[in-house]
Amino acid sequence: MIEVDVIIKIPFHDVDLMAIAWHGHYVKYFEIARSELFSKIGYNYQEMADSGYAWPVIGLNIKYVKPATLGKNINVRAKIVEFENRLKVDFLITDLETGRKLTKGTTTQVAVDMNTQEMCFVSPDILFEKLGVKR
């Protein structure tokens, strides 16, 4: 499956009084990596819109293992693990220096036809094309 790694340095404005990244920012870290993943396959958000499909997130799961802290470099890996009827992306956040697992999670997205606003029960051909998968 296709995957990307993105390095993020935890900034001051993302941490609490204990210098730990606030839990809500992990969703942002996932999004940064997912955006890079889509760009890698030539299907960024503008290209999605141009293809006539939106891909809203319908599910999000996060498991916090260890905290990311101020100034630490983290690696956010995003990997497509399902694509036939929905798009599922797995995430793994590790400490770049130690390789220690910090957080893992998944997002689930479905295609929505932008003309009809109807959810698609099978991923559209454009996704298979971008992934280089023959039907």
Q: Look at the alpha carbons of 107, 113, 115, 116 in this order and tell me if their dihedral is positive or negative.
A: negative
pLDDT of residue 134: 86
Residues in the chain: 135
Please give the backbone phi and psi of residue 38, each rounded to the nearest 5 degrees, phi first.
Answer: -65, -40
- For residue 105, the SS3 value is strand
CA atoms within 13 A of residue 85's CA, in its CB half-sphere = 1
pLDDT of residue 135: 78
pTM of the model: 0.94
Contact 110, 57 (CB under 8 A): no
Contact 6, 78 (CB under 8 A): yes
Which pLDDT tens digits describe the chain residue by residue (135 residues)? 799 999 999 999 999 999 999 999 999 999 999 999 999 999 999 999 999 999 999 999 999 999 999 999 999 999 999 999 999 999 999 999 999 999 999 999 999 999 999 999 999 999 999 999 987
CATH 3.90.1150.10 fits 3-131, yes or no: no
Domain ranges of the chain: 3-131
Name residue 93's beta-bridge partners. Answer: 76, 103
pLDDT of residue 44: 94
Bridge-based pairing of strands 101-109 and 112-113 is unpaired
Place of tokens 């969703």: 27
